[in-house]
Structure 1
Amino acid sequence: MSHRAWLQVLRERYFVSGLTIAALARQSGWSKSKVSELLRGAGLYPTWELTHSLVHVLGLPTRPMQLLWCEAAADAGKKPDWIEGCISKVVVATGGLRPPLEHRAFTELYRPGYTAYGKVFLPTGAEARRAVAEALVILWMRWDEALVSSGAAQFAWPILRWSVMARAPHTADHHPELTPAAFDTVALARAVGPGDQFRQFEESLNLFQAISRLPDLELDVTVLVHLRGMDTAAVADLLGLPPSLITLTDERARRSLAIALAPHSLGGTP
């Protein structure tokens, strides 16, 4: 997962650079086969020296890529000594060791909402925090793009969503698994007896299964408004979208869920 995070960013920058593999190899000082192997994600986990050379040629910020590379190396089973040895071979300018001030302010403002979203889909709070941290590092790496986009929040949300969904359990038909969130619903907590709890739990499972099948934006709005209790203005700010669009999306999602759950609510069978 973490390997794909930094490799995806590197590939995207390569695709828009206009460079050929041969040109990238020539400018980085590595063979075409090594460069091609790295971009394809094939072979052994690449050294930081090779990765950094491509990062430099493609004009990506070094420090955030290094953080992602180190995390992915650990996930790939590389020993700390190997990782530190690779890093020590490349000198990183000290001026880029911290994100820009604007990015740090963005992180402080949006991290809580991002984490709340992640906790709906990921098994543990630690996994949610890790997904959010990864997304914010990728955003740091692409901060120059965010600044010239229609809005940093709107630019950042797909990055956060990708990081969460890449880690989230999915059903056999490729929908994100929401059923663990059923244990944390207000309605279930208020159920009086065991029979009430069982009935509410069954209803929650049906509801979460229906929510998981909503289109992406409807799913996100439903999760943030109804499972995380955010108001329309807060959700609009988090996603970087107009409040009117959030309201419209919420209404559309409600209609879809009402149709999907109608057989259950009427006591019949689907």
Structure 2
Amino acid sequence: MRGIYTDYARAFLLTDQRAHWVVSEAFDILWVCWDTATASDNLHRYAWCLLRSRVMLRATCHHDGRPDLRAAVFSTREVHNNSTVPGHLVVLTELIDLFDAITRLPDDQMDAAVLHYLCGTPYQAIAHVLGIAPTLTHAVDHHARATVEALLTTPNPE
């Protein structure tokens, strides 16, 4: 799990050092709480919620408390590979809007979207990491994509 956890943490915390540190912290806490974790209904879910809480404590947030993923746009392949292509600024703006919309999703949908689309985690691994049924992963992704599309096409009242 360390690699996937680190990829997820890096998406929000932006540096390898911060990501590795928070993953190590989560594993240390999990070790201290091991009896409680193994007594829970779902050890993978317990560990994921622990990691997620540690990441979100350190993530940059919007004024409404949701995490801010916009800076992660600058670490994507699309930005690096197309930095000299005409229209690059339009692509950059669209990616920023997309990443911002992802943070408006419910937690499981946001986590699945970040893991799959930003970190490249396959669906089978996402189910294992999040501690959800494998069949539920596709449903969560389907709802996330529909919600993001609606968010991107509906004017924001802010």
What is the TM-score of this pair, normalised by structure 1? 0.55
Larger RCO (alpha carbons 8 Å, 6+ apart):
2
Distance 2:21 2:79 in 1: 28
Structure 2 residue 141 is matched with structure 1 residue 250: yes
Distance 1:127 1:186 in 2: 21
Structure 2 residue 79 is matched with structure 1 residue 188: yes
Structure 2 residue 34 is matched with structure 1 residue 143: yes
Distance 1:195 1:256 in 2: 30
Q: CA deviation at 1:195?
A: 3.2
| Residue-by-residue CA offset, 1:80-100 (whole Å, 9 max, x unaligned) | xxxxxxxxxxxxxxxxxxxxx
Q: CA deviation at 1:142?
A: 1.0
Pairing partner for 1:260 from 124, 147, 151: 151
Structure 2 residue 94 is matched with structure 1 residue 209: no
| Equivalent runs, 1:3-152 vs 2, <5 Å | 110-152=1-43
Q: CA deviation at 1:231?
A: 1.0
Unaligned runs of 5+ in 2: none
Match of 1:160 in 2: 51
Match of 1:171 in 2: 62
Aligned-residue CA RMSD (Å): 1.5
- State the secondary structure of the residue aligned to 2:14: coil
What is the TM-score of this pair, normalised by structure 2? 0.92
Matched AA of 1:201: L
Pairing partner for 2:125 from 234, 239, 251: 234
Distance 1:203 1:178 in 2: 13
CA contact (8 A) 2:7 2:119 kept: yes
Q: CA deviation at 1:188?
A: 2.5
Distance 2:109 2:10 in 1: 18
Matched AA of 1:237: H
Matched AA of 2:11: V
Distance 1:150 1:175 in 2: 28
- State the secondary structure of the residue aligned to 1:195: coil
Structure 2 residue 112 is matched with structure 1 residue 221: yes
Q: Percent identity?
A: 36
| Residue-by-residue CA offset, 1:205-240 (whole Å, 9 max, x unaligned) | 100110111111111000001111111101111112
CA contact (8 A) 2:101 2:148 kept: yes
Unaligned runs of 5+ in 1: 1-109, 264-268
